[in-house]
Every structure is written in C-alpha cells, then in structure tokens.
Amino acid sequence: MSQSPLNIVILAAGKGTRMYSKMPKVLHEIGGEPMVQRVIDTAARLNPQNICVVIGHGKEQVLAKVKRDVVWIEQTEQLGTGHAVKMALPHLPAEGRTLVLYGDVPLTDTATLQALLEAAGDEVGLLTDVLDNPTGYGRIIREGEKVVAIVEEKDANAAQKAVKETNTGILVLPNAKLESWLGSLSSNNAQGEYYLTDLIALANSDGIAVHPVQVRASHLAAGVNNKVQLAELERIFQTEQAQELLKAGVTLRDPARFDLRGRLKHGQDVVIDANVVIEGEVEIGDDVEIGANCVIKNAKIGAGTKIAPFSHLEDCETGANNAIGPYARLRPGAKLADDVHIGNFVEVKNASIGQGTKANHLTYIGDAMVGSKTNFGAGTITANYDGVNKHQTVIGDEVRIGSNCVLVAPVKLGNRATTGAGSAITKNVEDGKLALARARQTVIEGWVRPEKPKK
Ligand code: UD1
Ligand code: CA
C-alpha cells in the first residue's frame, strides 16, 4: 500500500430531519454508541495524521457526547458535501491523501477502508455498491471500464437512473488536487448544492484515475436517514456480535433476542437466555447462567453464578457461585463475595456482602457492610436515609435477622447477633446477643368478638 500520509474528514453537519428527533442524527446509537463515535473510532484505527469532523446541526450536543480528540470544524450552513470537505481544507496538508467518511454511516470496517486506500494509491478511490433499488443514490457513470462521473438521482436522466452501481459517498482524494477541485465546484445543479461527487469528473479531466472498489456487503456502507434504517443496522450489528459470541463458545438460547451494547468478556460454558441486554463493560466468568429478561450493565460476575430471570444489575460485582434473582436488583456499589444468595425483590446498593450470606426475599440492603454466613429474614430494611444524610449499617458474621426488621442506620449488629422478627433496631447489638424491639404480644382475657344479631 502507498505510504503517503493519511487525513480523514468525517461529514456530520446534517440535521437528519427524517429522524424526527431533538438530537442530531449522528448521535443516534448503534450498539449503545453514537454513530459518529463509531465512525471516529474506526477512522482512528487507520492511524491518520488527523481526523477532521465537520459539524453544524446540534454541534454542542455532538461536542459534549464524543469521546476522542479530533479537529472540530464548523459548517454553519449545509451547502453540500463538497462545501463540507472544503471547510476542512485548512487542516489538510498539501501532500498525502484524504479519506472522506460520513457520521451517519456507522458500520464501515477497517478492512473495507484499507482495501479502498490500497486501490486508490495516490489517485482517487471510490467505494461503490450495487443495489437492486438504487433510488436516491448517486449513480456511477462509466465509459467502458472507466469511471468518469457520478450523477445524483435528482440530476440523472432515465438512462442514468437505470444504473444500479451507486456511490456510497466514501472516497479517497489526493490532497495536492483538493484545493483546485473543491474551488472549482459549482452549485449549478438540481439541489443547488456543492456536490463532492463532481470531483470524479474533475479527476477525469485532470487525467487522474478513479479506482472503484465495490463494498463486500451493503451494510458496510449503508447510511442512516430514518429510524427504520437505524433499526435495520442495529439488527445487523447485533446479529454479527451474537455470531461472534456463539463462535467463541457462549450459548445464546436465541441469538435473535440478545443485545450487547458494549463489551462482553466471558469465560467458558456461559449460557444466556432470551431477551438479555448487556450494556457497558461486562465480564462474566466460567459456567455463569443468565436467565431470560435480565439487564446487566457494567458488572463483573464470578464463575458459576446463576442469575435468574428478570434481574437488573448495574455497576456491581458478584463473586463465584452466587444465586441472584429472580427479580433481584443490584445497584451501583453492590459487591458480593462468593456463595451469596440474593433472592426475589431484594435490592442491594452500595453494600458489600460477605461469603455465604443470604437475603432471599423482599429486602433492601443499602449503604451497608455485611459479614459472612449472615441471614436476612424476609422484609428486612436497612433504613439508611434520614431525609438528609445517608448512614451506614454494619452487620457481622453469622447474624440472624428476623423477618420484617428495620435496621435504622447508623447501627451495628455484632457477630452472631440475632434480632427478633418485626424489630425496629435503633441501637447497636453486641456479639452473640438477641435484640427485640417491638411491642410485646398481649392477650385480652374475656374479650368477645362482636357478632351480627341473628334474625
Ligand atoms: C450523498 C452523495 C450520493 C451518495 C449518498 C450516499 C453527494 C452530492 N451525494 O448523497 O452520491 O449516493 O451520499 O448516501 O455527495 N453533509 C454535511 N454538510 C453538508 C451536506 C452534507 O456535513 O453541507 C453530511 C450529511 O450530514 C451526511 C452526509 O454529509 O452525513 C451526506 O449528505 P446527504 O445530504 O445525506 O447526501 P445524499 O444526498 O444522501
Ligand atoms: Ca444521505
């Protein structure tokens, strides 16, 4: 491949009217990541000298969302793709070549772009596609084998409209020619825009060859103009990810009903049931099973742990061989050791829970430190919030908390402490002690239950 330096310009100034959204089009997500972020990350993998991103509509939102150092270029008026690239000229050196990408074409891979750069050499490279229905796209006009021009749909005659070979929009240009070519563009066309595509004819008149490369699969160069196309590309992206996981040995009970919006690191013999959503950075160990309809975000799950259906985990960590759910909720800062059981309608937030501890039913554990082999009776609540401040609850090893206890923080239960069912525990309980904090049962002697008078 030619070694001349590479610059990349990403066009992302358009509004995306047909998304019907307050958010600029390029921020809509594929696989949990804004489209333009995906394009920038792909661009960065080609090690360019710089990446220029042309923005306009919703530029503040784009600037706030994108995570990477790029050269931001503002195009205040969207006068066409040629005009957009022209905005980047001051940041493009006189030598080398420039690759033009689109912020709303999210699934292009580096292999496609490498092939295009290779074919282009120091001349022009053009990524094309062949579509059964080419309506709306620029058509590739050839004389014999030679590509001589691109004609936009709205400017095309009937014969040109019949051409199924289309312009994906992605192309490589020699920097030495950019200034003169872009400078000679006119907006004298059906849309009154400065078309980047007119550069193909200009290259021809300058005797610079245009090297077309047909994309391997349409989705690699497909753009998003509306939510239908966004959903289509999302499904393709998810299918590819699911296939990768299957090939790597993960059992997906139904790969069509699995969504990964981030990264999943996994061990062996992992089983994931239908409708599971994985977000952010998730790591799961060997033999982990995730039941249907779980949502797991930024979590680390130890080997052998079973997560039963309808559980929700976020910013948390479980040890090995935990039993979680069904209907469990692990919130940020939940850190469970090995062999922990968290059952139905149990919520854990900002709490560490020691080995072998069980909270099997209807419990809230927040802002707590819990030892090992402790048991929470059904309906236990750590009352951690006094309306102003959050307080800690510290619970030792082998504690037995009776059902329906409220532990009013700050409070401490020592090792092997026990609390009677229905207690409101407001004072510390020492090691090994039984605490009761509830009204004593009384029996009213001689009480007679009222009866309706018999007719
Ligand atoms: C463009 C191509 C067409 C190709 C199609 C592929 C031109 C003239 N036409 O048409 O040949 O088949 O893409 O999808 O290039 N943009 C800006 N500033 C502007 C105008 C556009 O940043 O002033 C950005 C848009 O945000 C979008 C991209 O450039 O991301 C493409 O612009 P769009 O108007 O959608 O071009 P098409 O008409 O689809
Ligand atoms: Ca478009």
Residues 326 and 287 in one domain: yes
Residues 97 and 208 in one domain: yes
Query: How would you classify the pairing of strands 258-266 and 434-435?
Result: unpaired
Provide the residues around ligand 2 (an ion) whose CB is within 5 A. 223
CATH code where residue 87 lies: 3.90.550.10
In whole angstroms, give the CA distance from residue 67 to residue 55.
15
In whole angstroms, give the CA distance from residue 234 to residue 213.
25
Residues 27 and 104 in one domain: yes
Domain count, the chain: 2
Atom 22 (ligand 1) nearest CA: 13
CA of 310 to the centre of ligand 2 (A): 39
Q: Which amino acid is at 430?
A: E
Query: Are the beta carbons of 97 and 175 closer than 8 angstroms?
Result: yes
Residues 164 and 287 in one domain: no
CA of 93 to the centre of ligand 1 (A): 24
Atom 36 (ligand 1) nearest CA: 81
Residues 135 and 104 in one domain: yes
CA of 388 to the centre of ligand 1 (A): 53
Residues tagged in the binding site annotation for Mg(2+): 104, 225
CB of 150 closer than 6 angstroms to any ligand 1 atom = yes
CB of 195 closer than 6 angstroms to any ligand 1 atom = yes
CATH code where residue 337 lies: 2.160.10.10
Residues 335 and 236 in one domain: yes
CB of 81 closer than 6 angstroms to any ligand 1 atom = yes
Atom 17 (ligand 1) nearest CA: 13
Phi and psi angles of residue 261, each rounded to the nearest 5 degrees, phi first: -115, 65
Residues tagged in the binding site annotation for acetyl-CoA: 378, 384-385, 403, 421, 438
CA of 223 to the centre of ligand 2 (A): 6
CA of 10 to the centre of ligand 2 (A): 13
Residues 243 and 154 in one domain: no
> Using CA atoms in the order 121, 177, 199, 210, what is the torsion angle rounded to 10 degrees?
-20
Please report the DSSP string for 339-385 in residue order. Answer: T-EEEEEEEEEEEEE-TT-EEEEEEEEEEEEE-SS-EEPTT-EEE-B
In whole angstroms, give the CA distance from residue 102 to residue 39.
7
Residue 403 exposed, middle or buried by CB count within 10 Å (0-12, 13-18, 19+): middle
The verdict on residue 362 lying in a domain is yes
Select from 175, 190, 221 the last residue of a domain.
221
Query: How would you classify the pairing of strands 29-30 and 33-34?
Result: antiparallel
The verdict on residue 141 lying in a domain is yes
In whole angstroms, give the CA distance from residue 81 to residue 56.
13
The verdict on residue 444 lying in a domain is no
> Which pLDDT does position 1 carry in this prediction?
47
Measured from the CA of 11, which atom of ligand 1 is nearest? 22
Measured from the CA of 13, which atom of ligand 1 is nearest? 22
Measured from the CA of 14, which atom of ligand 1 is nearest? 26
Q: Which domain holds residue 402?
A: 229-435
Instruction: Please identify which residue in the block is written with the tokens 């709306």.
Output: 136
CB of 128 closer than 6 angstroms to any ligand 1 atom = no
Question: 404: Cβ–Cβ under 8 A, 6 or more apart, which residues?
Answer: 377, 378, 379, 380, 421, 422
Name the nearest CA neighbour of 398 among 422, 378, 414. Answer: 414
In whole angstroms, give the CA distance from residue 395 to residue 415.
7
The verdict on residue 448 lying in a domain is no
Name the nearest CA neighbour of 228 among 28, 452, 445, 441. Answer: 28
CB of 166 closer than 6 angstroms to any ligand 1 atom = yes
> Which pLDDT does position 15 carry in this prediction?
87
Phi and psi angles of residue 330, each rounded to the nearest 5 degrees, phi first: -105, 115
CB of 138 closer than 6 angstroms to any ligand 1 atom = yes
Measured from the CA of 77, which atom of ligand 1 is nearest? 23
CB of 54 closer than 6 angstroms to any ligand 1 atom = yes
The verdict on residue 453 lying in a domain is no
CA of 99 to the centre of ligand 1 (A): 15
Residues 120 and 71 in one domain: yes
Q: Is 219 a catalytic residue?
A: no
Catalytic residue among 91, 211, 361, 391: 361
Residues 146 and 266 in one domain: no
Q: Can you tell me whether residue 86 is helix, strand or coil?
A: helix
Query: Are the beta carbons of 299 and 315 closer than 8 angstroms?
Result: yes
Residues 215 and 235 in one domain: no
Atom 2 (ligand 1) nearest CA: 169
The verdict on residue 449 lying in a domain is no
Residues 241 and 361 in one domain: yes
The verdict on residue 441 lying in a domain is no
In whole angstroms, give the CA distance from residue 351 to residue 443.
41
Q: C-alpha 313: how far from its chain's center?
A: 16
The verdict on residue 454 lying in a domain is no
CB of 13 closer than 6 angstroms to any ligand 1 atom = yes
Question: 114: Cβ–Cβ under 8 A, 6 or more apart, which residues?
Answer: 1, 46
In whole angstroms, give the CA distance from residue 312 to residue 291.
11
Mean pLDDT for back-to-back runs of 10 residues, the chain (455 residues): 82 94 97 98 98 97 94 97 98 97 98 98 98 97 97 98 98 98 97 98 98 98 97 98 98 98 98 98 98 98 98 98 98 98 98 98 98 98 94 98 98 98 98 96 95 91
Residues 151 and 237 in one domain: no
CB of 83 closer than 6 angstroms to any ligand 1 atom = yes
Atom 39 (ligand 1) nearest CA: 137
